[in-house]
């Protein structure tokens, strides 16, 4: 397609443009025509319908000065593999798979299954619409999350909020505007170190139950710990992206962790493509 061919260019609203700019994606589009503006859902769909590479070019942008990763030790580069926990070797917390939301939340709040409970201020359970069709899975709480008891509230969380906004969703929205956000690990690892395999394995039933209760139509797994936990693979993120994987029958889209994107803004365009794939997957579910 030549650059002059605008037939695949989506009409994006100001919010989506801001998000794409944030993600380092430069969008070329004709001047808006003085016609009825499409509804927000339609613009979001238009963004998905057009393959990202056709309409967007990645342009590395410097992260804003305030965009330091929330976690002092941000998730490692996504090409580095870490051992996947041998879940079979770890004693399971009884009955998690039958718990309702209230019991699950209380159980997590009182969990002492691993040493992370010793250093936590709060457990970080999850946030969002418990019936959302769209679920985000991250890694583990950092300092801000530990203090506030809510996932993704630091700099990485701001980027995640922007990414959600770009697909017409938020952590407080409901239904088609909603999402549910949870981490693999519910307690902050000391000094924000990487979670250990046994910690992942002990915490895993909680995430599994959250997924079973939410019953999302798509999961976006952000970062290698989310990916390893859900997909049980050591494959690097770069090799898993762009395909639809499955966790307990639910489609899983693999993407980069927002903290990684803050350090590597050149990859934000790929993350946008991942969100588009997630939207596409949801639409076809
Ligand atoms: N990184 C995560 O993976 N989860 C959070 O809640 C915060 C930072």
Report pLDDT digits (tens) over 123-148: 999 999 999 999 999 999 999 999 99
The answer to whether residue 188 is domain-embedded is yes
Q: Is the pLDDT of residue 150 over 50?
A: yes
Q: Does 61 score more than 60 pLDDT?
A: no
Give 45 Cα–ligand 1 centroid separation in angstroms: 28
Q: Which two tokens stand for residue 205?
A: 């039933």
Angle (CA) 260 184 274, round 5°:
45
pLDDT of 274 over the 80 cut: yes
pLDDT digit string, tens, across residues 212-241? 999 999 999 999 999 999 999 999 999 999
pLDDT at 79 over 60: no
Is residue 80 scored above 60 in pLDDT? no
Task: List pLDDT tens digits, range 163-212.
Answer: 999 999 999 999 999 999 999 999 999 999 999 999 999 999 999 999 99
The answer as to whether 126 is a domain residue is: yes
Q: Is the CB of 224 under 6 A from ligand 1?
A: no
- Give me the pLDDT at residue 18, please: 59
Amino acid 21: pLDDT: 62
User: Which CATH number does the domain housing residue 273 bear?
Assistant: 3.40.470.10
The answer to the question of residue 266 being in a domain is yes
Q: Is the CB of 71 under 6 A from ligand 1?
A: yes
Domain limits for position 250: 88-283
**Residue 207 burial (C-beta neighbours within 10 Å; 0-12, 13-18, 19+):** buried
Model confidence pLDDT, tens digit, residues 12-56: 566 566 566 656 554 433 333 333 333 333 333 333 333 332 223
Ligand 1 touching residue 282 (CB < 6 A)? no
In a domain, 35, yes or no: no
User: Is the minimum distance from the CB of 187 to ligand 1 under 6 angstroms?
Assistant: no
Give the pLDDT of residue 272: 97
Domain-located, residue 207 = yes
Mutate to test the pocket of ligand 1, among 257, 260, 263 (most ligand atoms within 8 A of CB): 257
Whether 161 shows a pLDDT value over 50: the answer reads yes
Could you read off the pLDDT of 240-262 as tens digits, one per residue?
999 999 999 999 999 999 999 99
The tally of domains found in the chain comes to: 1
Q: Is 36 a domain residue? A: no
Question: Which residue has the least CA distance to atom 7 on ligand 1?
Answer: 152
- Percent share of the chain, pLDDT over 90: 67
Q: Would residue 218 count as lying in a domain?
A: yes
Residue with tokens 């025509």: 33
Q: Which of 140, 154, 228 to mutate to test the pocket of ligand 1 (most atoms within 8 A of CB)?
A: 140
Beta bridge partners of 138: 183
SS3 of the chain: the string is CCCCCCCCCCCCCHHHHHHHHHCCEEECCCCCCCCCCCCHHHHHHHHHHCCHHHHEEECCCCCCCCCCCCCCCCCCCCCCCCCCCCHHHCCCCCCHHHCCHHHHHHHHHCCCCCHHHHCCCCCCCCEECCCCCEEEEECCCCHHHHHHCCCCCCHHHHHHHHHHHHCCCCCCCCHHHCCEEEECCCCCCHHHCCCCHHHHHHHHHHHHHHHHHHCCCEEEEECHHHHHHHHCCCCCHHHHCCCEEEECCEEEEEECCHHHHHHCHHHHHHHHHHHHHHHHHHHCC
Residue 76 lies in a domain: no
Ligand 1 mean position, distance from CA 75 (Å): 9
């Amino acid at each position: 397609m030549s650059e002059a061919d605008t037939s695949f260019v989506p009409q994006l609203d100001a919010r989506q443009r801001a998000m794409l700019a944030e993600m380092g994606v430069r969008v070329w589009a004709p001047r808006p025509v003085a016609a009825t503006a499409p509804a927000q859902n339609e613009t979001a769909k238009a963004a998905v319908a057009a393959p990202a590479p056709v309409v967007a070019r990645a342009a590395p942008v410097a992260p804003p000065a305030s965009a330091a990763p929330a976690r002092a030790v941000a998730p490692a580069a996504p090409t580095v593999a870490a051992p996947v926990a041998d879940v079979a070797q770890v004693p399971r917390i009884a009955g998690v798979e039958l718990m309702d939301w209230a019991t699950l939340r209380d159980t997590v709040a009182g969990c002492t299954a691993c040493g992370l409970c010793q250093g936590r201020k709060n457990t970080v359970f999850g946030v969002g619409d418990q019936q959302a069709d769209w679920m985000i899975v991250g890694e583990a709480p950092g300092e801000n999350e530990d203090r506030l008891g809510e996932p993704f509230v630091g700099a990485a969380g701001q980027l995640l909020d922007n990414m959600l906004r770009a697909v017409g969703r938020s952590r407080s929205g409901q239904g088609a505007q909603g999402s549910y956000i949870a981490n693999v690990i519910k307690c902050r690892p000391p000094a924000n170190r990487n979670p250990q395999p046994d910690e992942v394995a002990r915490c895993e039933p909680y995430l599994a139950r959250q997924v079973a209760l939410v019953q999302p139509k798509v999961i976006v797994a952000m970062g290698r710990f989310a990916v390893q936990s859900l997909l049980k693979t050591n494959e690097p993120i770069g090799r898993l992206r762009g395909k639809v994987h499955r966790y307990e029958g639910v489609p899983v889209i693999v993407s980069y962790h927002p903290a990684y994107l803050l350090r590597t803004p050149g990859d934000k365009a790929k993350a946008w493509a991942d969100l588009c794939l997630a939207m596409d997957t949801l639409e076809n579910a």
